[in-house]
């Protein structure tokens, strides 16, 4: 009850508005726009000094999207999309960030965003039904709605290596790259991590560095992205069809339409047809490969065929046969960790100044003053790049002290894994929404499609509450329990739990091993959340 008293005092002193949004990436920006359209007073808080989220923070060399640019953009405004022209099949980080700034200008978003301000706590005051939000800059704001647009991949993480403080060189995390860039010319560089960020940055860093040592714990499936400049006619065509295309994208499992899934199971395909399908899709580049046949992601046996095809291609890309074998993923099915798309990643290891250290033989013991120590050997480096990923999906949310009814802590509630209803709300936390929260398709999809799906749903919900004079909406325990069980059951019927992935929380020591995203697809999920809304928010309790 002390927390209640504290909250009551805080809300008496605080600025009062309709809604707080935390985060100004793609999600927070669009949410702000939609709530303003409803005539609500809104305050966005963003830790960075500008908009962009992922694309503001991840400025490492080689950073670019892996969903094609023509699909990795907002689809809610014809005017916005017609005013922007993408230059490459997969846009590089600076271009995506410029696009986000263009949207922020166009919609005049910045005036409601407080930058360089991190939200530290959000506490629900049951007496007046308001959220009291506090920041590291001393802001205290009360709002009826609190919307977390904090991102699934925004809590960058450097593992707790002993000795890092003693390292005499510079170190960087890909997810917090210096804005002014880094010049590695003439330097010996160590890169730790070979996920998407490592695989994108290693070839570019190798072009500059005098010596590059890559520390690989798990080899990943990677295939050529097939990046290229976009042809003017395809850009123009996309401008004519984008809004219609986006409607179609919502009807697909991944929110992507640039390739089609072949529904035929592998055993029904003739060997030459199968080979042709795999070859064509490999050449096409991108995620099309995972749609080569119907059961590729369904059974171990079927998956193994595509995995072996990929390994053969990967092996052929590296001349040094010993190194090639080390770069081959052998401990997980293809597609159950995010597939990596690269430009000359494997070929980089044939360069005389690039070395691979396989951490499956010896893990990193510590960081020394001079470099990285592993297997009793010190690998000297002038700079270390941590491409070591994120505390994904829950990290940014649980970094905030979020308390609901009776002062209950979200951290405590989620101690054994996140519990949400539809990935949008959590029982005991009224009027608190998550955009692309755990339990929704989120990271298994084109994220912008999923973001728009959630923002539109939340907007309709807020409209229903305000127009209906309803004070609050809150997931019921029963609906939440059923949803959590459903998400787990779906995941356990797939190959996903077979990998030590960040989807499972496996990259963070001590994090509960739970498969966090919803595997049923954007299309199926969209129908479910629409049906819930149509049934006047079935599974939620609406408070008078």
Gyration radius from the chain CA atoms? 24
The 3-state DSSP class for residue 396 equals helix
Q: Which of 22, 307, 384, 529 binds ligand FAD (CB under 6 A)?
A: 22
Look at residue 387 and give the partner it binds from ligand N01, ligand FAD, none, a contact being a CB closer than 5 to 8 Å depending on partner kind.
ligand N01
Cα–Cα distance for residue pair 317/319, rounded to 1 Å: 7
Report the interface residues with ligand N01, using CB under 6 A: 65-66, 153, 159, 174, 192-198, 200, 215, 217-218, 338, 341, 359, 364, 387-390, 443, 502, 507
Residue-wise DSSP of 257-305: -SS----S-GGGS-HHHHHHHHHHHHHH-GGGGGGSSTTTTT-HHHHHH
> Shortest approach of ligand FAD to residue 267 CB, angstroms?
32
99 binds ligand FAD (CB under 6 A): no
Q: What is the size of the binding site for ligand FAD (CB under 6 A)? A: 36
Compute the CA torsion angle 224, 229, 233, 239 (nearest 10 deg).
80
Residues 150 and 436 sit within 8 Å (Cβ to Cβ): no
- Does 23 sit near ligand FAD (CB under 6 A)? yes
Report which of 181, 192, 186, 172 is spatially closest to residue 62, judged by C-alpha positions: 181
We find the least distance from the C-beta atom of residue 392 to ligand N01, in angstroms, to be 7
C-beta atoms surrounding 529 within 10 Å: 18
What are residue 19's DSSP bridge partners?
Answer: 42, 145
Q: State the DSSP string of 220-241.
A: --EEE----BPPHHHHHHHHHH
Q: In this chain, which of 66, 358, 382, 452 binds ligand FAD, going by CB under 6 A?
A: 66
Rounded to a whole number, what is the largest CA-CA distance in the chain? 73
* 72 near ligand FAD (CB under 6 A): yes
Handedness of CA 72, 77, 80, 84 (dihedral sign): positive
Is position 31 an interface residue for ligand FAD (rule: CB under 6 A)? Answer: no
Q: Binding of ligand FAD at residue 150 (CB under 6 A)?
A: yes
14 binds, among ligand FAD, ligand N01, none (CB under 5 to 8 A by kind): none
451 binds, among ligand N01, ligand FAD, none (CB under 5 to 8 A by kind): ligand FAD
Q: Which is nearer to ligand FAD, 63 or 318 (CB)?
A: 63
Cβ 387 to ligand N01 shortest distance, Å = 5
User: By CB under 6 A, what part of segment 381-400 binds ligand FAD?
Assistant: 396, 400
Among 7, 154, 213, 431, binds ligand FAD (CB under 6 A): 154
Asked whether position 338 contacts ligand FAD by CB under 6 A, the answer is: no
Q: What residues pair up with 377 in beta bridges, in sequence order?
A: 374
Q: Which of residues 260-279 bind ligand FAD (CB under 6 A)?
A: none
Stretch that binds ligand FAD, among 12-20, 421-429, 444-452, 529-537 (CB under 6 A): 444-452
> Which two structure tokens, joined as six digits, stand for 27?
């999600």
B/e letters for 265-300, b = 16+ CB within 10 Å, e = fewer, are ebeebeeeebeebbeebbeebbbbbbbbbbbbbeee
Nearer to ligand FAD, 44 or 302 (CB): 44
Q: Which of 21, 10, 35 is nearest to 465 (CA)?
A: 35
String marking each residue 461-500 x if it binds ligand FAD according to CB under 6 A: ----------------------------------------
Tokens standing for residue 270? 């003739």
Closest alpha carbon to 128 in 144, 147, 145, 148: 144
- Residue nearer to ligand N01 on the CB measure, 174 or 440: 174
d(CA 438, CA 455): 15
Which CB, 286 or 430, lies closer to ligand N01? 286
| 193 is an interface residue for ligand FAD by CB under 6 A | no
Q: How far is CA 139 from CA 2, 132, 477, in A?
A: 21, 10, 32
| Closer residue to ligand N01, CB minimum distance, 293 or 390 | 390
The distance of closest approach from Cβ of residue 217 to ligand N01 in the complex, given in angstroms and rounded to an integer, is 4
Q: Which of the listed partners (ligand FAD, ligand N01, none) does 154 bind, with a CB threshold of 5 to 8 Å by partner kind? A: ligand FAD
Contact partner at residue 198 from ligand FAD, ligand N01, none, CB < 5 to 8 Å by partner kind:
ligand N01
- Quick one: which of 89, 347, 349 has its CA closest to 226? 89
Is residue 259 near ligand FAD by the rule CB under 6 A? no
Q: Which residue is nearest to ligand N01 (CB)?
A: 195
Among 149, 212, 372, 402, binds ligand FAD (CB under 6 A): 149
Question: How far is 298 from 47, CA to CA, in rounded Å?
Answer: 40
**Shortest reach from residue 420's CB to ligand FAD, in Å:** 15
Q: Is 318 in the site for ligand FAD (CB under 6 A)?
A: no
């Amino acid at each position: 009850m002390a927390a209640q008293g504290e909250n009551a005092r805080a809300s008496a002193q605080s600025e009062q508005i309709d809604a707080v949004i935390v985060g100004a990436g793609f999600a927070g920006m669009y949410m702000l726009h939609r709530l303003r359209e409803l005539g609500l007073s809104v305050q966005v808080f963003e830790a960075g000094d500008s908009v962009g989220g992922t694309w503001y923070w991840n400025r490492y060399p080689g950073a670019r999207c892996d969903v094609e640019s023509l699909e990795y953009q907002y689809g809610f405004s014809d005017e916005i999309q017609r005013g922007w022209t993408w230059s490459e099949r997969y846009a590089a980080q600076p271009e995506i960030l410029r696009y986000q700034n263009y949207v922020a200008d166009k919609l005049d978003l910045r005036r409601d965003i407080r930058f360089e301000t991190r939200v530290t706590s959000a506490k629900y005051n049951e007496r007046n039904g308001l959220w009291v939000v506090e920041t590291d800059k001393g802001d205290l704001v009360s709002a009826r709605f609190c919307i977390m647009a904090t991102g699934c991949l925004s809590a960058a993480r450097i593992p707790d290596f002993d000795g890092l403080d003693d390292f005499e060189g510079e170190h960087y995390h890909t997810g917090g790259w210096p804005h002014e860039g880094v010049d590695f010319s003439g330097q010996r560089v160590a890169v730790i991590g070979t996920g998407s960020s490592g695989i994108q940055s290693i070839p570019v860093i190798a072009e500059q560095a005098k010596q590059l040592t890559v520390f690989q714990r798990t080899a990943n499936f990677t295939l050529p992205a097939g990046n290229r400049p976009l042809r003017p006619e395809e850009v123009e065509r996309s401008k004519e069809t984008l809004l219609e295309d986006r409607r179609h994208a919502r009807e697909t499992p991944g929110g992507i339409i640039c390739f089609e899934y072949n529904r035929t199971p592998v055993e029904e395909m003739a060997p030459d047809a199968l080979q042709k399908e795999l070859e064509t899709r490999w050449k096409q580049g991108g995620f099309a490969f995972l749609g080569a046949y119907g059961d590729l992601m369904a059974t171990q046996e079927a998956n193994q065929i595509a995995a072996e095809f990929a390994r053969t291609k990967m092996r052929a890309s590296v001349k040094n046969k010993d190194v090639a074998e080390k770069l081959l993923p052998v401990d997980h099915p293809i597609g159950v960790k995010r597939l990596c798309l690269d430009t000359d990643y494997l070929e980089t290891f044939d360069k005389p100044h690039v070395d691979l250290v396989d951490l499956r033989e010896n893990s990193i013991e510590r960081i020394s003053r001079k470099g990285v120590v592993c297997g009793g050997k010190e690998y000297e480096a002038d700079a270390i790049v941590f491409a070591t990923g994120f505390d994904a999906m829950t990290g940014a949310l649980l970094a905030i002290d979020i308390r609901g009814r009776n002062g209950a802590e979200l951290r405590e509630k989620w101690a054994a894994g996140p519990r949400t209803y539809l990935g949008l709300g959590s029982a005991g936390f009224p009027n608190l929404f998550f955009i692309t929260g755990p339990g929704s398709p989120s990271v298994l999809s084109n994220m912008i499609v999923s973001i728009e799906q959630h923002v539109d749903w939340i907007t309709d919900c807020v409209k229903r509450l305000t127009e209906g004079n309803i004070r609050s909406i809150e997931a019921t325990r029963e609906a939440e329990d059923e949803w959590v069980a459903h998400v787990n059951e779906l995941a356990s019927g797939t190959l996903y739990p077979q990998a030590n992935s960040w989807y499972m929380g496996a990259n963070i020591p001590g994090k509960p091993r739970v498969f966090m995203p919803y595997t049923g697809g954007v299309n199926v999920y969209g129908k479910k959340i629409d049906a819930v809304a149509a049934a006047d928010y079935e599974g939620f309790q609406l408070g008078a």
